[in-house]
C-alpha cells in the first residue's frame, strides 16, 4: 500500500507539471512561430540532434542502473557524477572540433556561432543527473516537477522577450540553454547531496554490464529517432526540416506529458515489484490503459482540429506543417504499449535481450528509412509512424518472455479507446461541416473542441472503460492523501 501511495502521489505531481509545461510550451511556441521562420527551426534542430546523442553518452545508462539497484551509497553516486562531468566536457570539446564541418556540410555558416553556445547543453545537463536520480529513488516527484516548471517558465519568458526584441534564431537557443541551466541550479540548491572529494571509479564496475547494454540500446534509439531530420536538412531544405520538426514537436508535447509523467514514476515503482511477476503484469496493464485513455483522444482530436487551429493562430507560412503533424500524431498512439513494454524489459532483463531486440528494431527501421528518405518528407513522416508501430510490437514480444505480455493484451488495452476516439473525431468533423462558412473560424474551432470533449466525456460515462476507472481511483486517492 505504501508503494501504491507513492506512485499515485508521484503520478499526480508529475502529470500536473508535464501538462502545465506542455500547455505553456505550446503557447510560447505559437508566439515564437509568429516571429520566426521555418528555416530557423531547421538550423537549430540539426545541432540539437548532436546534443541529444551526446547526452545519452554522458548518462551511459547509469541513472537507470542506480534507480534499479536496491542499495546505493555515496561511492556509487560520486563515481557516476564525476563520470558524467568528465564525459560531458570531453564531448563538448569534440563537438566544438566538428562544428566547422557541420557548418560547411549543411551550408549554414551561422552554425559556427550558434553551435559553441548550444553545445553547452551537454555539460549543463550533466551537472544535475545525480540530484534528479536521488529524488526519483525517493519518489520525490513534487520537487522535480516544481523545478522543471519554474525552469520552463524562465526559459520560455526569456525566449519570448528575445524574439520580440528581434533576436531571431538566438531566441530559440536562449530557451534551450536557459531552461536546463535553471533546473540544474535549483536542484543543486535543494539537494543536500554533494560529491565526495575522493572518488573511485571502481564503484561503477558492478553497474557496467547493465549500463553498457542500456547505453547501446539508448544510443541507437536516439540516433534512429533523429536521423531522418539530418537527412531532411541535407537532402531537402532547412525550411522543410522546420515544418517537419514543428509537426513532430507539437505531436511530442502531449505524448511526452503523459508518457514522461507515468514512466518516470512507474519505472522505480515497477522495479520494486520485479520479484512478483503477477503483480507487475497487473500494474503494467493498469498503466497502459490509463495512458491510452488519455493519449488516444488527444492525438486523434489534434488531428481533427489542427487545420483550423493553425489558420487561427499562425501566419499562412506555417500551413505546410499540417500534413506532417497529422501523420506523426498517429505514431503517438503506439507510445503507451511501447514504453510500458520497454520498462518491463529494463527491469526484468540484464540488458542482453534489450540489445538483441534493438538490433531487430533497427534493422526494420533501416529498411523503412532507406525506402522513405528518397521519396520525400511526407513519406519520411509515414515511415516514422510505421517504425513506432514495429517498435511497440517487438517490445511487447520481448516483455512477453517475462510477464506473459502478449499482442492480444495490447489489442485489448487499446481497442476501446480507439473506438471512443473515432466517434469523437466524427463529432468534430461533423461540427466543422455544419458550421464552415457560416461563422468566424475561431468560433468554429472553439465549438469543435467543445463538441469533441463532450462526445468523449459522454462515451466515458456510458461505457465506463477500465482506463477511466483507474484514472478515477488515482484522483480519489490523490484527494484523500491531500486531506491527510
Question: How would residue 271 be classed by pLDDT, with cut points 50, 70 and 90?
Answer: low
Residues 298-334 as b/e (b if ≥16 CB within 10 A, e otherwise) read bbbbbbbbbbbbbbebbeeebebbbbbbbbbbbbbbb
- pLDDT tens profile 285-303: 777 888 888 889 999 999 9
Confidence category of residue 201, pLDDT binned at 50, 70, 90:
confident
Q: How large is the angle between the packed helices 38-59 and 170-190, nearest 10 degrees?
A: 30
- Structure confidence at residue 131 (pLDDT): 86
pLDDT score recorded for residue 279 = 72
Between residues 163 and 353, the one the model is more confident about: 163
pLDDT tens digit string along 374-386? 999 999 999 999 9
pLDDT at 1 over 50: no
What is the pLDDT, as a whole number, of residue 206? 80
Identify the residue with better confidence: 145 or 42: 42
Instruction: Return d(Cα 262, Cα 344) in angstroms, integer.
Output: 14
Q: What is the mean pLDDT of residues 135-157?
A: 81
User: In which band, very low, low, confident or very high, does the pLDDT at 17 lie, cut at 50, 70 and 90?
Assistant: low
Query: With 60 as the cut, is the pLDDT of residue 264 above it?
Result: no
- Predicted confidence at residue 255, as pLDDT, reads 77
Beta carbons within 10 angstroms of residue 16's beta carbon: 18
In this prediction, residue 377 carries a pLDDT of: 93
**pLDDT per residue as tens digits for the range 328-348:** 999 888 888 888 888 778 777
CA separation for the pair 171, 169 (Å, rounded)? 5
pLDDT band at 2 (very low <50, low <70, confident <90, very high): very low
Domain ranges of the chain: 1-236, 273-484
Predicted local confidence at residue 4, as pLDDT: 47
Averaged pLDDT for residues 144-156: 85
Amino acid at each position: 500500500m505504501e508503494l501504491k501511495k507513492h506512485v499515485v502521489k508521484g503520478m499526480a505531481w508529475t502529470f500536473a507539471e508535464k501538462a502545465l509545461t506542455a500547455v505553456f510550451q505550446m503557447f510560447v511556441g505559437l508566439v515564437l512561430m509568429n516571429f520566426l521562420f521555418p528555416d530557423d527551426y531547421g538550423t537549430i534542430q540539426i545541432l540539437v540532434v548532436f546534443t541529444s546523442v551526446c547526452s545519452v553518452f554522458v548518462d551511459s545508462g547509469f541513472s537507470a542502473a542506480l534507480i534499479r539497484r536496491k542499495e546505493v551509497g555515496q561511492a556509487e553516486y560520486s563515481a557516476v557524477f564525476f563520470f558524467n562531468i568528465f564525459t560531458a566536457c570531453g564531448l563538448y570539446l569534440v563537438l566544438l572540433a566538428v562544428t566547422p564541418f557541420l557548418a560547411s556540410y549543411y551550408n549554414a555558416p551561422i552554425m559556427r556561432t550558434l553551435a559553441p553556445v548550444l553545445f553547452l547543453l551537454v555539460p549543463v545537463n550533466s551537472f544535475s543527473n545525480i540530484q534528479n536520480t536521488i529524488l526519483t529513488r525517493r519518489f520525490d516527484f513534487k520537487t522535480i516537477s516544481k523545478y522543471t516548471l519554474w525552469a520552463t517558465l524562465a526559459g520560455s519568458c526569456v525566449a519570448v522577450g528575445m524574439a520580440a526584441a528581434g533576436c531571431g534564431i538566438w531566441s530559440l537557443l536562449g530557451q534551450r540553454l536557459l531552461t536546463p541551466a535553471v533546473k540544474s541550479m535549483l536542484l543543486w540548491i535543494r539537494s543536500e547531496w554533494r560529491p565526495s572529494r575522493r572518488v573511485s571509479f571502481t564503484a561503477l564496475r558492478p553497474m557496467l554490464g547493465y549500463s553498457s547494454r542500456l547505453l547501446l540500446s539508448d544510443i541507437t534509439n536516439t540516433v534512429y529517432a533523429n536521423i531522418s531530420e539530418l537527412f531532411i536538412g541535407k537532402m531537402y531544405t532547412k525550411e522543410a526540416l522546420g515544418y517537419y520538426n514543428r509537426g513532430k514537436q507539437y505531436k511530442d508535447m502531449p505524448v511526452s506529458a503523459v508518457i514522461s509523467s507515468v514512466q518516470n514514476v512507474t519505472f522505480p515503482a515497477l522495479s520494486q515489484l520485479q520479484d512478483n511477476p503477477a503483480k507487475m503484469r497487473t500494474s503494467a496493464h493498469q498503466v497502459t490503459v490509463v495512458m491510452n485513455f488519455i493519449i488516444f483522444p488527444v492525438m486523434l482530436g489534434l488531428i481533427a482540429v489542427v487545420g483550423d487551429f493553425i489558420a487561427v493562430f499562425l501566419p499562412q507560412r506555417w500551413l505546410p506543417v499540417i500534413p506532417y503533424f497529422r501523420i506523426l500524431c498517429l505514431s503517438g498512439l503506439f507510445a503507451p504499449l511501447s514504453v510500458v513494454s520497454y520498462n518491463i524489459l529494463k527491469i526484468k532483463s540484464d540488458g542482453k535481450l534489450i540489445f538483441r531486440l534493438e538490433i531487430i528494431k533497427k534493422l526494420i527501421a533501416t529498411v523503412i528509412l532507406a525506402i522513405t528518405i528518397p521519396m520525400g518528407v511526407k513519406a519520411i513522416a509515414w515511415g516514422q509512424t510505421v517504425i513506432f508501430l514495429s517498435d511497440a510490437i517487438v517490445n511487447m514480444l520481448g516483455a512477453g518472455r517475462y510477464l506473459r505480455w502478449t499482442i492480444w493484451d495490447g489489442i485489448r488495452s487499446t481497442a476501446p479507446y480507439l473506438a471512443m476516439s473515432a466517434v469523437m473525431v466524427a463529432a468534430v468533423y461533423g461540427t466543422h461541416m455544419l458550421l464552415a462558412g457560416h461563422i468566424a473560424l475561431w468560433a468554429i474551432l472553439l465549438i469543435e473542441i467543445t463538441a469533441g470533449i463532450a462526445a468523449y466525456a459522454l462515451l466515458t460515462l456510458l461505457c465506463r472503460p477500465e482506463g477511466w476507472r483507474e484514472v478515477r481511483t488515482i484522483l480519489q486517492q490523490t484527494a484523500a492523501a491531500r486531506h491527510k
